[in-house]
């Protein structure tokens, strides 16, 4: 059966769906927000991800867009937003299926089976081994899962070195600022945010992929992917 992740902030609904899918024979688990999901995704892979749209930190559409670029998981959006324009946004974000709440559990389970079977048929045999980013500490280069590389500045290298060492965990803003600056820091400075924004843009332009370095509001940053250092 399928390995399923449910990202839903309604605890009662999330637990009931996890229980039902497990009773159907699936390996299902759930989290309450996007950050918890990204932290789990850094350690594990899933056949199907079921996403609510209204989530803390990041909405389900942005999570779906990230997944569609970096993962082979099938994506089911499950939300109360049922207007045509909402559905269009969902499919454009990368959803394989858009379901409007309340969702029938039996229908959801059937969709999980169908999408996981389709995923296994279309998945490349080598795809699971190429999903990691790679950071070269000696060459100051970051390699995307696509194989394309980007040269990093010294400060960009320090940012990537710190977040890669704690991939899947939130790196506090002050801790990262101190590591990058190697000295006194101004807690009100936006220099770090500007540097990370430039880094994301550079990676997107040169590698054609979104760098999974996420900002956690009022907390810090998290690298929501797999990264190897050499």
Give mean pLDDT, residues 201-217: 85
pLDDT by residue (tens digit) across 214-225?
A: 887 667 888 877
Provide the whole-model pTM: 0.62
pLDDT by residue (tens digit) across 126-162?
A: 343 446 899 998 899 999 988 899 999 988 998 898 8
Sign for the CA dihedral angle at 158, 162, 168, 170 comes to: negative
Domain 132-229 listed as CATH 1.10.10.10: yes
Report which of residues 118 and 195 the model is more confident about. Answer: 195
Q: What is the pLDDT of residue 123?
A: 54
How far is the CA of 132 from the CAs of 28, 42, 63, 101, 196, in angstroms?
Answer: 24, 10, 18, 35, 20
Domain(s) labelled CATH 3.40.50.2300 in the chain stretch across 3-128
Give mean pLDDT, residues 31-43: 86
Give mean pLDDT, residues 14-31: 94
Integer-rounded Cα Rg, in Å, for the chain is 19
pLDDT by residue (tens digit) across 73-116?
A: 899 999 999 899 999 999 989 899 999 999 999 999 999 999 88
Q: What is the mean pLDDT of the chain?
A: 85
Name the strand (E) or helix (H) holding 29. strand 27-31
Domain 3-128 listed as CATH 3.40.640.10: no
- Residues of the chain with pLDDT > 70: what percent? 90
Report which of residues 167 and 97 the model is more confident about. Answer: 97
Domain(s) labelled CATH 1.10.10.10 in the chain stretch across 132-229
């Amino acid at each position: 059966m399928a390995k399923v992740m449910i990202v839903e902030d309604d605890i009662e609904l999330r637990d009931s769906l996890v229980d039902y899918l497990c009773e159907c024979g699936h390996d299902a688990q759930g989290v309450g927000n996007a950050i918890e999901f990204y932290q789990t995704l850094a350690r594990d892979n899933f056949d199907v991800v079921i996403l609510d749209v209204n989530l803390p930190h990041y909405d389900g559409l942005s999570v779906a867009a990230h997944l569609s670029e970096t993962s082979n998981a099938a994506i089911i959006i499950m939300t109360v937003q049922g207007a045509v324009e909402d559905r269009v946004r969902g499919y454009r974000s990368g959803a394989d299926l858009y379901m409007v709440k309340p969702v029938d559990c039996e229908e959801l389970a059937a969709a999980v089976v169908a999408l996981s079977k389709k995923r296994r048929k279309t998945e490349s045999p080598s795809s699971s081994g190429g999903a990691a980013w790679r950071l070269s500490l000696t060459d100051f280069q970051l390699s995307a899962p696509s194989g394309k590389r980007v040269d990093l500045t010294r400060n960009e290298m320090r940012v990537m070195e710190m977040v890669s060492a704690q991939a899947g965990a939130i790196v506090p803003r002050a801790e990262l600022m101190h590591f990058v600056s190697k000295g006194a820091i101004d807690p009100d400075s936006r220099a770090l945010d500007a540097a990370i924004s430039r880094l994301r843009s550079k990676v997107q332009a040169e590698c054609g992929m979104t760098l999974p370095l996420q900002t956690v509001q009022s907390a810090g940053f998290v690298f929501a992917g797999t990264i190897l250092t050499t």
